[in-house]
Each structure stands twice: as C-alpha cells, then as structure tokens.
Amino acid sequence: TTNPPKAEEEQACPVPQEEEEEVRVLTLPLQAHHAMEKMEEFVYKVWEGRWRVIPYDVLPDWLKDNDYLLHGHRPPMPSFRACFKSIFRIHTETGNIWTHLLGFVLFLFLGILTMLR
C-alpha cells in the first residue's frame, strides 16, 4: 500500500515528539521568568507613579486650612480623575470623605425608599 504524500511542513522538518516536549519544558521557565520581569516593571511603575502624602508646610496656601494637621495631606490633584482616585488612599481627608459619601448614599437610599411608598 502506498501512503498519501505528507504536507510540505512535515516532510521538510520532522520534529520528534520527545524534542518538542523538551522545547516546551525549556521555554516554560523562560516564559515564567519573562512574566515575572514584566510584573516587576509594572509594580515599579505603579509604585513610582503614585503620589505621596505631603507635610503641611509644603502645601500651597489655598490648601492650608488646618494648622494642627501637620502630616499626611494629599497634594493638589491635577484632574477630577486623580482626585476621585485619591478617595481610596489614606490621607488627612479620608475620614471626612467617607463619612460624607456613606451618609449621602444612605440619605439617597432612604429618600428613594420613602418616595416609592
């Protein structure tokens, strides 16, 4: 019996299955190493790109509203998005923001509930 001709790829470069598995085994650690390097780069960029809290004496005059809070102020925010993201950070205004935000949500919920009755 005659076997049908194989595809060009199979005829040109036959790769034994053992070698193929060996290549996979060798590339898996390399892929993991590469992924770890990418993750380290990402974490470094995020860490360096974040803002840090600043002391009272570094604040611009228009943000100096409490002489008794000397540390932990958030710096002036360049955009609404940056300001919104700062809600999830710890600084001197965190408690004020969250108590007002949660109070607003509760008030809104109770108002809607009252209107639906």
Residue 96 lies in a domain: yes
Q: Is 73 helix (H, G, I), strand (E, B) or coil?
A: strand
Looking at residue 27, its amino acid is T
Do the domain assignments include residue 8? no
The pLDDT of residue 28 is 77
Spell out where 3-75 has E strands: none
Q: Identify whether 7 is part of a domain.
A: no
For residue 31, the enclosing domain spans: 13-50
| pLDDT of res. 52 | 85
Domain count, the chain: 2
Determine the Cα–Cα distance for residues 34 and 28; give it in Å rounded to an integer: 10
pLDDT per residue of the chain (117 residues) written in tens, 0 to 9 = 555 555 555 555 565 666 666 666 668 778 888 888 888 887 766 666 677 888 999 999 998 988 888 989 888 888 999 889 888 888 999 999 999 999 999 999 999 999 999
Residues 74 and 110 grouped into a single domain = yes
Pair (111, 71) in one structural domain: yes
> pTM of the full predicted structure?
0.51
The values of phi and psi at residue 107, to 5°, are: -60, -45
Specify the 3-state DSSP secondary structure of 90: coil
Q: Are residues 28 and 64 in the same domain?
A: no
